[in-house]
Structure 1
Amino acid sequence: MTRCTAPGCAGTVEDGYCVVCGMAATASPGPVPAPGGSGGTGPGSCAQPGCTGTIEDGYCDVCGMPPAQAETPGRAPSPAPERTARDAGPPGRCGQSGCAGTIVDGYCDVCGMPPSSGSASSSGSGPSSSSGTGSFGTGSFGTGSFGTGSARTGSTRTGSSRSSGRRGMLGAGLVEVPRIPYRDPSSAVLSDPRVPENRRFCSSCGEPVGRSREGRPGRAEGFCPKCRTRFSFTPKLSPGELVGGQYEVLGCIAHGGLGWIYLAKDRNVNDRWVVLKGLLDTGDADARAAAAAERAFLAEVEHPNIVKIYNFVQHGDAEYIVMEYVGGDSLRDILLRRRREGGADALPVGQAIAYGLEVLQAFGYLHAQGLVYCDFKPDNVIQSEEQLRLIDLGGVRRLDDQDGAIYGTVGYQAPEIADVGPSIGSDLYTVGRALAVLSFSFKGYTGAYADSLPPRAEVPVLARFESYDRLLRRATHRDPARRFRDAAEMAEQLTGVLREVLAIEDGMPRPAPSGLFGPERSVPGTDLARLTGGPEVLPAVTPAEAAAALPVPLVDGGDPAAGFLAGLTALEPARLAAAVANATERTPEVRLTLARVRIELAAYGEARALLDEAEEDRPDDWRIAWYRALATLAEGRVDEAAPLFDGLYDLLPGEAAPKLALAYCRERSAPGEAARLYETVWRTDPGHIGAAFGLARVHLAAGDRATAMAVLDSVPEISIRYVSARVAAVATAVRGRPPAELTAAGLAAAGDRLEGLGLEGERLEWLTVEILEAALGWVRLGTARGGHPQGGLLLGTPLTETGLRRRLERTYRSLARRTAAREERRWLIDCANAVRPRTLL
């Protein structure tokens, strides 16, 4: 018998090729060379450039690579693989393009990458390589963890602390998610693979099986006492067993809903690590159907966030799916470890949302292929390094298949599944439930709250992040029609919520253009250069002004009139109405534009008629509800508009526009709520200047001038409203303020603010009058009380009664010369005469 001479292979040569590894015969009959006996600089030495390791058990104990294949006398050497940039460089130097590092302990001390191997394929080699971008998971009952490989980045690291830079896009680049190091495959094998008795259930009727009785341990195999369906929880494959003539089993690594999951080596492809998954019970018809479905669907799936499938093999009477091994942790493992080590009940909200966004990308792909995942939960997604992989596609089915078996998990599965079957909405429901479980201590999610969320007031995370609470409630609404329509829509809103959450947590803005709304159109209440003569410190904003200032929903680019409408955006409402009314085709976008213009022209009846007409064509278009709410607000029916905008906030929790509208409606009825909404928008995106002025108005109404001024001061200098905000801060410091509340320091600060603005002409003089009048009142009060000392300068004027009166007289007379209105000129001259210092003449 001819033995194969490939390192570490125990196969025999038949018909010129090894039956195990598939290599061509290269030696005469005889014993197989010991692993590590070839290719090194000495017996047992690793032959990899720059590596000082030793071959043990067939692999280097430093870099993890197998020994180089020995050349056989009389045989031409195998063609060398094509040399690439990453293979270049002298021994001991890193082969990565552009890197000047040195290989130390098997890894580059600069970029953290391992040394390149001339024999490695693009799919990786050695025990810690992985060739794809997918993953396979622990299942519900497993104690091991395995996850996403990192072959796309060339990494074969097994937990090295060296960093090669950010390689994933978890959290849309907004949040830094802790990396999960690649896990050594050998550490994932279970020493005693057993399914705990409390996790043994009949696959047919769900009744407990295999339980202990009268002191006797439960049976791992047998028949369900209720429905007589056969069950088996014992592994079907043993270590060393060869499956499909190619995959050598090392042992069990987890147990899932469809049976044991095994780690194996692919002897035909450079001993790469793979995962084998078979049936839970080969006698169960539904389990067979699910396994067959998994095979059919996985053959079509190709996405970086979904496990990669290599092969399907038959072994005995069972069929196995062959997947890449990917080292990492499931989200459930990450959550449990945080509870053990960090003492926290949940993950940070930003981290949980980052995971949700990655899952939604995978779901969006599956849904586009006409598939639904059905059984999503934190157990079924793996993080490795900075990449996420969706695993365990055993429950996947086609959207049009309403007769197949349905797999789900209590606490995550949508309530309508049993009646109407799975759908895109039910998939998104599972994502919402998983986000809830990951982000707060969700007690009772499989019991009292199995199909609902706890009250917001009882969950600190939800109470703090209102938009996140609203997103979860929409995603997990009992009515499927009230949920998100697709994964892209949910991801868009979830990204907006993530920006809000991060901005609230650290105070750093995360602005981004909306995909649904344009920018704010105006900022009412900023004309502050003149005395109001009324009780308000900042000018009041009318409902019509507030409605006209709100962002406008974007036009659907697929509408035939979209280009035509885009060219009319700069027109005044009346001219825009005339132009749109003459459009040759009354498309849905034309109707909506006409409705918006009619609202601006106060023709509310005509606007509602147009919206009724548009609703016949597009009953599910949220913009119709937006314009109805806008018309109600513009009419002045603020209390009626508030619940309409509140409903739009539920619908679009990641958008700023509904929050701005609702905040305005709540300024008087619920100022605390209005302040919270304005602040959320302002913290997230300083481009919404209307939120800053609204927040300042709320604080002023509560008598908190200092906070109002701080808000106005936070308007960035690059903003077109910077000067208006600073002017508002000046007015806030003195306008309508009793002299007893003023101080010399406060007056001086107001004067310094004004001088720093660089204003000229009438605008400067009106604000100067306002500060000087306030200062004069403060000085006179002090004089009457025999109080505070006088002195110093204010706007270049001595802070004395005589000095202030003289400056005020000159300023009033200058304003009188500037105005063309006779009555106003007379009033200004009267003011000058009234304020001038008394003289003896």
Structure 2
Amino acid sequence: MTTSCVRPGCAGRIMGTGYCDTCGHRHIEPRGTPAAPPPVVVEESPGPPTVHAVAGVGELDQHGLVVLPEVPEPDDVLLVEDPRPPTEGRRCGTDGCGMLIGVGYGGQPARATGRCPRCGTPYSFLPQLARGDLVAGHYRVLGCLARGGLGWIHLAEDTRADGHRVVLKSQIGAGGALARRTAVEERRSLTDLHHPDIVRIITYADHRPPGGTSTGYLVMDYIGGRSLQQLFDADDIERVFHGRPRLDHVLSYGCKILGALEYMHERGLLYCDMKPANVIHFGRAVKVIDLGAVRAIGDRASAYVYTATFAPPKAEIDRRGWHVDSDLYTVGMTLQALARDTEPARGLAHDSFRRLVDRATHPEPRARFRSAAEMSRQLWEVLREFRSLQFGEQLPESSTRFRATGASLDAGLGAIPALDHWTARTGERPAELDVSPPSPAEVAGALPEPVPDPADGAALVLDTFSPDAPDQVARQWPRDSRLGTPETALWLCRAYLRGGDRDAAADWLTEAETQLGERAAAHDWRIAWHRGVLHLGKGEVEPAGARFEAVYRALPGEYVPKLALGHCAEHGARTARAMRFYEAVWKRDSAHTAAAFGLARGHLAGGDRDAAVRVLDEVPATSRHHDAARVAAVRIRAGVIGGLPPTPADLADAARRLPELRLDGGAEDGESRARLVAEV
């Protein structure tokens, strides 16, 4: 319900900020019978309150982001004493005029006022407000804070609110059509934005100086703090962060920025000018400021305002305009700039971060993230990967892209040896313990399956199909319009692959590519994933690894591509690379025992039994593979590995562990225990 302004003679309406959109005055409810208090609603607590930790300790807030260091409001606000024109000038913008104005020629300084040499429209780069001016009767100007992309930004105080500081954003040039149009758009779209990480637009005010023309100003909250550019360029940055900033600080900034942009995108707006200078860190929070470049999604008429060093190439903008993925490109460039001087990250985390930035800033728009929410999820997962590797934190969470799997991929290491382990022996010496990895085909059959895209028309019905009857679904394909989708084709690919029919699986994967279209399929991680599984099933490890690498580039925070890449590296005898992938998975979530067995094999390849056993001992008692890990530890202690027999200490440890194993259904004696005792 719209509330009308009660000020005499004003026909305006009260905005969500509580101010009138016409006269700019704060709305006060008329006196009368007080309204009944709203009913008390008991809600579940959203979680523990935010912990305000000392920067550098590394606590997380209730949203799973790093608690940022305290950045106090500066005692003195630095105002611009000598406002000058921008050194690079700007485009005229009058009725489509693109002439550059406000630049010097022949070594002469640029003029602050003048006329466009092409269309003759007058312009002025001078601030139109002076110290002490009153705007809307109660905003007293204190001076110029900075020059924005479209106008001077002034600091003022609200004389009706005990000197509450606000920012007045004016427009350059009294006659600039571009500036006027932009101001109107800002007024319409920005005053109703209410997000904790976006600066609040309080109201809109007009001001007419004596003998001059009326100019409009957006009135915004003043945020006292430092921009991320100022903070990361400051000499005291290590004092603020109690050391060098870490990658998880940058990732937390990114999640907050993306949350603000997602809010704007949902309301049909594009930010267009993300960069470190446009995010203020104050206290332990951040605010996205300077909304002067905001435009409506799909707007191809108004001029673009952006910073070239953070934006997609100009040729791309000229060709296709500005889109959601263009905003995400600027976020990627912002994160890259912030991460430049961070503390070195351990393990795979920096590689994952680099791939995230690479996807956000990919030259091909189709390869970029599709939404701020999608990019934020990957950012959040890379943050967890970083913290697990840097601090040893277990931060498990369910994948949004892959289903869970119960496969341990231990290649029989965690199983009790069969009788032929002894009967097939040809000599007196004990047989070498087989610590080879599972076969590529076994890995292909055990890797988790992708979760169907919920936007696909058949996503809801796929789980109702029997995975063992793909022929029935294939026969329905041409008759049921609901099934003619990429996800159905991918489901059939997996079903036929599970049944051993690789040719049919390949045919349905080709059909999925056709459904998506050639150009889209080339950048769809689902296609790369299924191609990788097909290659792996045929023992083609190298091409499989190339496909899984493409999935890693698209989903840098996901567990599953790293697990697949670990197996490919292990089969390619690249043990160190395999262990980096396995470590990134295992350190983050001990539910992925396939990574634990992979790490154990890697340690054994380096001759380190102790390290292999330590990893297997980390498998929790709640895991279905707990017993298999304990059996594997005993076999590693007692086995001949790499031609080397166990030491007396190894055998003593194996003997100590034997009574602790739960074998033969918990019985004290049984066939399984007897065989394992015989091996020791």
Aligned with 2:531 (options 624, 628, 635): 628
Give yes or no for the alignment of 1:657 onto 2:546: no
Between the aligned partners of 2:355 and 2:457, the Cα distance in structure 1 is: 34
**Which residue of structure 1 aligns with residue 71 of structure 2?**
180
The structure with the larger Rg is: 1
**Which residue of structure 2 aligns with residue 552 of structure 1?**
449
* Change in CA separation of 1:291 and 1:564 when aligned onto 2, cut-off 3 Å: closer
**Which residue of structure 2 aligns with residue 718 of structure 1?**
622
Deviations 1:776-827 (A, max 9, x none): xxxxxxxxxxxxxxxxxxxxxxxxxxxxxxxxxxxxxxxxxxxxxxxxxxxx
**Which residue of structure 1 aligns with residue 649 of structure 2?**
745
* Change in CA separation of 1:562 and 1:417 when aligned onto 2, cut-off 3 Å: closer
Aligned with 1:352 (options 206, 227, 250): 250
**Which residue of structure 1 aligns with residue 490 of structure 2?**
592
**Which residue of structure 2 aligns with residue 775 of structure 1?**
none
Give yes or no for the alignment of 1:320 onto 2:217: yes
CA contact (8 A) 1:189 1:251 kept: no
**What SS does structure 2 have at the residue aligned with 1:406?**
coil
Give yes or no for the alignment of 1:241 onto 2:115: no
Give yes or no for the alignment of 1:646 onto 2:549: yes
**What SS does structure 2 have at the residue aligned with 1:666?**
helix
**Which residue of structure 2 aligns with residue 335 of structure 1?**
232
Supply the AA of the counterpart residue of 1:297: S
Supply the AA of the counterpart residue of 1:505: Q
Supply the AA of the counterpart residue of 1:602: G
Gap runs ≥5 in structure 1: 1-15, 18-77, 86-111, 113-152, 154-160, 443-458, 772-841
> Displacement, 1:729?
1.3
**What SS does structure 2 have at the residue aligned with 1:388?**
strand
Between the aligned partners of 2:660 and 2:450, the Cα distance in structure 1 is: 38
**Which residue of structure 1 aligns with residue 267 of structure 2?**
369
**Which residue of structure 2 aligns with residue 483 of structure 1?**
368
> Displacement, 1:618?
2.9
Deviations 1:440-484 (A, max 9, x none): 149xxxxxxxxxxxxxxxx97897621111111111112222211
Supply the AA of the counterpart residue of 1:759: L
**Which residue of structure 1 aligns with residue 156 of structure 2?**
264
> Displacement, 1:405?
1.1
Between the aligned partners of 1:209 and 1:177, the Cα distance in structure 2 is: 41
Alignment of 1:692-703 (within 5 A): 692-703=596-607
* Change in CA separation of 1:545 and 1:341 when aligned onto 2, cut-off 3 Å: closer
Aligned with 1:470 (options 355, 364, 368): 355
* Change in CA separation of 1:724 and 1:211 when aligned onto 2, cut-off 3 Å: farther
Supply the AA of the counterpart residue of 1:765: A
Aligned with 2:330 (options 430, 433, 437): 430
> Displacement, 1:743?
2.7
CA contact (8 A) 1:171 1:354 kept: no
CA contact (8 A) 2:87 2:110 kept: no
CA contact (8 A) 1:220 1:234 kept: no
**What SS does structure 2 have at the residue aligned with 1:468?**
helix
Give yes or no for the alignment of 1:609 onto 2:515: no
Aligned with 2:202 (options 310, 323, 344): 310
**Which residue of structure 1 aligns with residue 90 of structure 2?**
203
* Change in CA separation of 1:671 and 1:162 when aligned onto 2, cut-off 3 Å: closer
Supply the AA of the counterpart residue of 1:661: A
> Displacement, 1:301?
3.1
Give yes or no for the alignment of 1:767 onto 2:676: yes
> Displacement, 1:677?
0.7
CA contact (8 A) 1:663 1:675 kept: yes
> Displacement, 1:691?
0.9
Deviations 1:132-164 (A, max 9, x none): xxxxxxxxxxxxxxxxxxxxx9xxxxxxx999x
CA contact (8 A) 1:433 1:476 kept: yes
* Change in CA separation of 1:162 and 1:361 when aligned onto 2, cut-off 3 Å: closer
Between the aligned partners of 2:325 and 2:461, the Cα distance in structure 1 is: 35
Deviations 1:292-331 (A, max 9, x none): 3322331453333322222222212221111123333222
Give yes or no for the alignment of 1:380 onto 2:284: no
Aligned with 1:685 (options 574, 589, 595): 589
Aligned with 1:492 (options 360, 369, 377): 377
**What SS does structure 2 have at the residue aligned with 1:173?**
coil
Between the aligned partners of 1:299 and 1:191, the Cα distance in structure 2 is: 26
**Which residue of structure 1 aligns with residue 14 of structure 2?**
none
Between the aligned partners of 1:699 and 1:748, the Cα distance in structure 2 is: 20
**What SS does structure 2 have at the residue aligned with 1:611?**
helix
Between the aligned partners of 1:660 and 1:338, the Cα distance in structure 2 is: 41
> Displacement, 1:359?
1.2
Between the aligned partners of 1:221 and 1:82, the Cα distance in structure 2 is: 55
> Displacement, 1:211?
11
Between the aligned partners of 2:673 and 2:511, the Cα distance in structure 1 is: 51
Alignment of 1:807-826 (within 5 A): none
**Which residue of structure 2 aligns with residue 781 of structure 1?**
none
Between the aligned partners of 2:385 and 2:331, the Cα distance in structure 1 is: 20
Between the aligned partners of 2:384 and 2:649, the Cα distance in structure 1 is: 38
Between the aligned partners of 1:501 and 1:674, the Cα distance in structure 2 is: 18
**What SS does structure 2 have at the residue aligned with 1:612?**
helix
Between the aligned partners of 2:61 and 2:34, the Cα distance in structure 1 is: 34
> Displacement, 1:734?
2.2
Looking at both structures, which has the greater relative contact order when contacts are Cα pairs under 8 Å and sequence separation is at least 6? 2
* Change in CA separation of 1:655 and 1:220 when aligned onto 2, cut-off 3 Å: same
* Change in CA separation of 1:335 and 1:501 when aligned onto 2, cut-off 3 Å: same
**Which residue of structure 2 aligns with residue 138 of structure 1?**
none
Between the aligned partners of 2:89 and 2:62, the Cα distance in structure 1 is: 39
Deviations 1:582-616 (A, max 9, x none): 76733434332221111111101101112222333
**Which residue of structure 2 aligns with residue 529 of structure 1?**
416
**Which residue of structure 2 aligns with residue 577 of structure 1?**
470
Aligned with 2:182 (options 284, 290, 294): 290
* Change in CA separation of 1:255 and 1:426 when aligned onto 2, cut-off 3 Å: same
**What SS does structure 2 have at the residue aligned with 1:274?**
strand
| TM-score with structure 1 setting the length | 0.64
**Which residue of structure 1 aligns with residue 405 of structure 2?**
520
CA contact (8 A) 2:270 2:323 kept: yes
Supply the AA of the counterpart residue of 1:636: G
> Displacement, 1:404?
1.6
**What SS does structure 2 have at the residue aligned with 1:720?**
coil
Supply the AA of the counterpart residue of 2:650: G
| Count of aligned residue pairs for this structure pair | 593
Give yes or no for the alignment of 1:708 onto 2:599: no
| TM-score with structure 2 setting the length | 0.78
Supply the AA of the counterpart residue of 2:470: A
Between the aligned partners of 2:672 and 2:436, the Cα distance in structure 1 is: 16
Alignment of 1:561-576 (within 5 A): 561-567=458-464, 575-576=468-469
* Change in CA separation of 1:194 and 1:687 when aligned onto 2, cut-off 3 Å: farther
